[in-house]
Structure 1
Amino acid sequence: MRIPHNDALGSDSLEAPERRCILTGSHGSRDELIRLAISPDGDVLPDALARAPGRGAWIGVSRGELETALAKGKLKGALARAYKGAALTIPADLPQRIEAALTRAFTDRLGLEMKSGKLLVGSDRIAENARMGKVRWLAHAADAGQDGSRKLDQAWRVGEDEEGSGKQGITLPLDRATLSVALGRDNVVHMALTDRSAAERLAIPLQRLLRYLGHGAATGQNEGDSPADSAAPVAVTTN
């Protein structure tokens, strides 16, 4: 992507860990905000992994807030300032493209963890590993049955010796059909990770997606939980 003017990607990650939302002026870490870049044709597009070379602009708002900013012309003005008047085209479906890109980044990460053998699917397999204290992250599809989710949540609490804590898996903003297609498996309803590093890798794209959809960060119910220990039920800003 051709990305004119603004701060360089990667060159200042240690010096400036925070980024500024071009719409609100608020600051957040690059793992929390969404990066926008410009295609060779001048289209403003999402850079879901924040890896495109050159310079970019960041936003830290929900899809609903972005749609409002787009309709009122605020996004156009903010991008014009961020890119110093460079010729830009903002696709009318940019909010939808961002959601699709964030979803793809998350499901791609899930796929990589599955290939590495760190992602478990299937209630029986997850329950067995959970009771043995091997599960580091637990999640349920948006349309998962409450009974099945509760049983796995309980098995996880038992394995973690946290009975009575209320700790439970994350309800993802994706249904079983979406997860099944993404992972190439039939009827993917529940998932678990057995590796803490894998959970930390997954936390970044998941947090971006949840924030954009207006659900906030995936944080654990237990005080002190790290993003890798995310366990809260989910009803499912510049570089």
Structure 2
Amino acid sequence: MTRGGREKDRTTTERRCIVTGEVGGTAGLIRFVVGPEGVVVPDVAGKLPGRGIWVTARREALATAVKKNLFSRAARQQVTLPPTLVEDVERRLLAQLSERLSLARKAGLAVAGREKVLDWLVKGDAVLLLQASDGSAREKSRLRPPPGEGTHFEVLTASELGLSFGREHVIHAALAAGGLTDLVREDALRLSGVRELDGGIPAGKVRQTK
């Protein structure tokens, strides 16, 4: 956070991926740090102390970093990689996305259910549409996402999406503009890449709805 209490602009801060060598905004990367015992730890929130090691938020890139032990090279020391490192990244991203989505709901920035979501979309209040990855394709197609980039994600299952709304299942959810919504979008983007949905999403790039 900045001194003014606002989140740092993670889209303009640039870091280099240890796998691809590409430089991009941290919103499209996963940060890792080396713990006191030399164990590599995912830092999806970007808050842990220590020198950051950055990997593009795609499962293929993470797997390459593990297979070639690029973390040791980046850290300039021998490090230990947990055997479930890639799965740990996915699990932490999912938990963070769920928590932020729940906070957005409590702040009045998120609604769930077809009728409420449709109402927000028609009124132009919604800037982000989330739909369950395992929901009916026909049902989901009846709702048109907001225009622009990064406005539509199908990265969570109905049960995962439901957890943030205190329900067993949720197929449709919408978010209004706000700081929490920006963070939800960032997490959804990175989780899409790690889960390789629709082939994954390159860092810094999102789907565009016309």
Change (3 A) 1:108 1:218: farther
Matched, 1:220 2:208: yes
Relative to total residues, which structure has the larger strand share, 1 or 2? 2
Moved more, 61-70 or 43-52: 61-70
Is the contact made by 2:152 and 2:207 (CA closer than 8 Å) also made in structure 1?
Answer: no
Q: In 1, Cα distance between the equivalents of 2:118 and 2:106?
A: 20
Residue identity in the other structure for 1:135: A
**Partner of 1:140 in structure 2?**
131
Q: In 2, Cα distance between the equivalents of 1:124 and 1:43?
A: 48
**Partner of 1:52 in structure 2?**
48
Q: In 1, Cα distance between the equivalents of 2:13 and 2:90?
A: 24
Is the contact made by 1:136 and 1:196 (CA closer than 8 Å) also made in structure 2?
Answer: no
Aligned mate of 1:131, from 98, 116, 122: 122
Change (3 A) 1:168 1:68: closer
**Partner of 1:83 in structure 2?**
75
Moved over 4 A (4+): none
Measured against aligned partners, the alpha-carbon deviations of 1:126-181 in whole angstroms (never above 9, x if no partner) come to 1122222222211210011123212222xx67xxxx7xx9x996242221012223
Q: Where does the alignment leave 5 or more consecutive residues of structure 1 unmatched?
A: 1-12, 223-239
Residue identity in the other structure for 1:83: A
Change (3 A) 1:188 1:128: same
Q: In 1, Cα distance between the equivalents of 2:71 and 2:139?
A: 46
Residue identity in the other structure for 2:127: R
Q: In 2, Cα distance between the equivalents of 1:59 and 1:128?
A: 39
Deviation at 1:221, TM superposition (A): 2.3
Deviation at 1:119, TM superposition (A): 0.5
Aligned mate of 1:202, from 184, 192, 210: 184
Aligned mate of 1:99, from 77, 87, 90: 90
Is the contact made by 2:97 and 2:188 (CA closer than 8 Å) also made in structure 1?
Answer: yes
List aligned pairs for 1:147-162, cutoff 5 A: 147-153=138-144
Residue identity in the other structure for 1:79: F
Aligned mate of 2:25, from 9, 29, 32: 29
How high is the sequence identity, in percent, across the aligned residues?
28
Q: What SS is found at the alignment partner of 1:35?
A: strand
Q: In 1, Cα distance between the equivalents of 2:150 and 2:142?
A: 10
Q: In 2, Cα distance between the equivalents of 1:89 and 1:134?
A: 47
TM-score of the two chains, using structure 1 as the length reference: 0.72
Deviation at 1:121, TM superposition (A): 0.3
Matched, 1:172 2:164: no
Q: In 1, Cα distance between the equivalents of 2:102 and 2:179?
A: 15
Change (3 A) 1:100 1:147: same
Q: How many residues align?
A: 195
TM-score of the two chains, using structure 2 as the length reference: 0.81
Q: In 1, Cα distance between the equivalents of 2:56 and 2:13?
A: 15
CA RMSD for the aligned pairs? 2.7
List aligned pairs for 1:114-125, cutoff 5 A: 114-125=105-116
